[in-house]
A and B are shown apart, each in its own frame.
Chain A
């Protein structure tokens, strides 16, 4: 970062014209980067492929506009985001207190540790069939799968956070008269918050991956369903719409999440 700043400064000192400054600015560089990628995409897709195999950007854009107009895209995006956010929120609410408890109490940690270590290597999607058998094909099973994928990441990060608390903080709290419960609420939780939030950011990424897989295998709506179902009609342009939507939604949710952390939690510790 500092290197970039230093180079920008040097650049400014040398070429002091307004145009040069504008070229070096972030919006211009982002724009240039996206424009070149679109050009490359257009070139490769029109030179080497038939539009049905690799749709050029213009075709994807036309399809996209049509899908936005018909409301189809909003429907798929809406249902996928609902699943992600619900599962993610419930999963985090379960995982953070459990992680705090496991981090603070040796007995609870030892009791739960084997399961945490076992299940964190079993991907959520491996559970899809049993979960669908037990809870049906509806929303419940999809949200359960997202909860599962969220819980372990947030929980492990929380445990790490608890073990990273400076012993002096806990000792200070104890000699200032804090009971075990008071220490947990007033010291352990705020000191661990940056780790919980980092875990949640990671879990958000995993929730995207999981919801797409789940929707591909057992759903009749959502972006995963859109991508998988379009394959039957060779509608590659629709597949690309699904892919582009996922990327944009990911950037957006992460950006919002980071803003929220900066706004409300930066004083709890450095969060990137």
Chain B
């Protein structure tokens, strides 16, 4: 398996670009919590291609997680259309698997191997087969040898790896990740980000990755969708990240991309504070801001 990862890693960045067909589509999607008049999401459009790594970026409270919950089928849309492979999303299903931020999504009474084998067990796979599968995916997430440990015996980063393995073992069409590294320390987070890209390259899974961290979005995504501030959020802009992989924070173009997205978020925030559309004055300031950022040296880090 490791050999496979290395092989894929050595491929040129051009050949990795998602050229697949549209997998997930949201049209004029709106959402509000049961009976409430305030719309969390309004007129949200989104199209995700097969094999793509899509990052959804936005400030807390903007409804990022609502988007994920809708795609996962945990919540129901209140308007518009949401389809996966042409089929409307009506509830949770094995074609969409979720890696949650919290470790409370793991089953603490099961060993790592049985956590990973949970999906296959539900499908009725015999024990030997599902354990073989689980072992394979634990190895892929660098947890070979930790099979018999209970989640309480694993570190935060290891627990998130178990979650990733558990999702992969179920072979979903799309992997939904809700700020999966948000609770980890900086070092572990960087490590897991690298590993996730490796896994993505090896498995070619479509990933929707939610984050509020600009650097993380620029490091990971093929495209970054910047959400507007709620209520009534939508995806304001989609920024393609054409930086070659593997990416590093110090790479040429990284700082520029960071600044560009940061500028877009600033612009969204001012827009939300004012009215629906930014006033001429605010817009002018933001343009000035962006120019200011432009002058910064290449590879600037934040």
- Name A's B-contacting residues (CB within 8 A): 166, 168-169, 171-179, 182, 186-187, 190-191, 193, 267-269
Report A-chain residues with C-beta under 8 Å of the C-beta of B102.
166, 168
For residue A179, which residues in chain B have a CB less than 8 angstroms away from its CB? 122
Q: Which residues of A contact B119 (CB under 8 A)?
A: 176-177
Contact between chains at B105 and A267 (CB < 8 Å): no
CA distance A129 to B300 in the complex (A): 84
Of chain B, the residue at the smallest CB distance from A187 is B107
A192 to chain B, nearest CB (A): 11
* B residues 76-97 touching A (CB-CB < 8 Å): 91-94, 96-97
| Cα distance, A216 to B104, chains bound together (Å) | 49
Chain A residues, CB < 8 A from B104 = 166, 168-169
A14 to B195, CA, bound (A): 52
Q: Which B residue's beta carbon lies closest to that of A166?
A: B104
CB-CB nearest in chain B for A189: B109
Please state if B109 and A172 are interface contacts (CB–CB under 8 Å): no
Question: Given contacts A168-B100, A169-B107, are A175 and B93 in contact (CB under 8 A)?
Answer: yes
Instruction: Judge whether B140 is part of the interface by a CB distance below 8 angstroms.
Output: no
Residues in A with CB closer than 8 Å to B150 are: 267
B53 → chain A closest CB, angstroms: 20
Q: Is B74 an interface residue (CB 8 A)?
A: yes
Could you tell me the distance in whole angstroms from the C-beta of A180 to the nearest C-beta in chain B? 12
- Please measure, in the bound complex, the distance between the C-alpha atom of A173 and the C-alpha atom of B100, giving whole angstroms: 12
A186 B97 Cβ-Cβ under 8 A? no
A182 surroundings in chain B (CB, below 8 A) = 122
A269/B109 in contact, CB under 8 A: yes
Whether the pair B122, A178 counts as a contact (CB closer than 8 A) is: yes
Q: Least Cβ distance of B170 to chain A in Å?
A: 6
Q: A182-B122, A186-B118, A267-B150 are in contact. Are A175 and B105 (CB under 8 A)?
A: no
Q: Which of B73, B152, B166 contacts A176 (CB 8 A)?
A: B166
Bound together, the chains give a CA A191 to CA B122 distance in angstroms of 17
Chain B neighbourhood of A187, CB < 8 A: 107
Shortest B17–chain A CB gap in Å is 28
B109 near A190: Cβ-Cβ < 8 Å = yes
Task: Decide if the interface of chain B is mainly helix, strand, loop or mixed.
Answer: loop
Q: Report the minimal beta-carbon distance from B143 to chain A, rounded to whole angstroms.
A: 18
A190 close to B107 (CB less than 8 A): yes
User: Does any Cβ of A come within 8 Å of B98's Cβ?
Assistant: yes
B72 to chain A, nearest CB (A): 6
Asked if A267 contacts B109 (CB within 8 A), the reply is: yes
Instruction: Contacts A176-B94, A190-B107, A269-B109 known; list 4 others, CB within 8 Å.
Output: A168-B105, A172-B98, A173-B122, A177-B122
Q: Are B122's CB and A175's CB within 8 A?
A: no
Query: Would B73 and A175 count as touching, CB distance under 8 A?
Result: yes
Residues of A within 8 A of B144 (CB): none
Determine whether the beta carbon of B122 is less than 8 Å from that of A172: no
Known: A166-B102, A168-B100, A267-B150. A174 touches B109 (CB 8 A): no
Chain A residues with Cβ under 8 A from B91's Cβ?
174
Please tell me if the beta carbons of A267 and B96 are within 8 angstroms of each other in the complex.
no
Docked pose: A173 CA to B102 CA in angstroms:
15
Shortest Cβ-Cβ A-B pairs, 5 listed = A166-B104, A174-B92, A168-B105, A176-B119, A177-B94
B contact residues around A168 at 8 Å (CB): 100, 102, 104-105
A166, B122: Cβ atoms closer than 8 Å: no
Contacts of A177 in B (CB 8 A): 93-94, 119, 122-123, 170
CB A228 to nearest CB in B, in angstroms, measures 45
Whether B108 is near chain A, meaning CB under 8 Å from some CB there, is yes
Q: A177-B170, A178-B122 are in contact. Are A171 and B105 (CB under 8 A)?
A: yes
Contacts of A174 in B (CB 8 A): 73-74, 91-92
Bound-complex Cα distance A186 to B108 (A): 12
26 contacts between A and B (CB under 8 A): A166-B105, A169-B107, A171-B92, A172-B105, A174-B74, A174-B91, A174-B92, A175-B72, A175-B94, A175-B97, A175-B98, A176-B94, A176-B166, A177-B93, A177-B119, A177-B122, A177-B123, A178-B122, A182-B122, A186-B118, A186-B122, A190-B109, A191-B107, A193-B109, A269-B108, A269-B109
Docked-complex contact A176 and B118, CB < 8 angstroms: yes
Cα A182 to Cα B121 with chains together (Å): 10
CA distance A166 to B106 in the complex (A): 10
Cα A191 to Cα B73 in complex, Å, equals 23
Shortest distance in angstroms between B292's beta carbon and chain A's nearest beta carbon?
42
Contacts of A173 in B (CB 8 A): 118, 122
Task: Return chain A residues, CB-CB under 8 Å to B166.
Answer: 172, 176
- Check B98–A267 contact: CB distance below 8 A: no
Residues of A within 8 A of B97 (CB): 175-176
**Contact status A171-B72, CB under 8 Å:** yes
- Which chain A residue lies CB-closest to B169? A176
**What residues on B are CB-neighbors of A267 within 8 Å?**
108-109, 150, 152
Known: A176-B122, A177-B170. A268 touches B74 (CB 8 A): no
- Say whether B170 contacts A176, CB under 8 Å: yes
**Which residues in A have their C-beta under 8 angstroms from that of B100?**
168, 171-172
Q: Which residues of B contact A172 (CB under 8 A)?
A: 98, 100, 105-106, 166
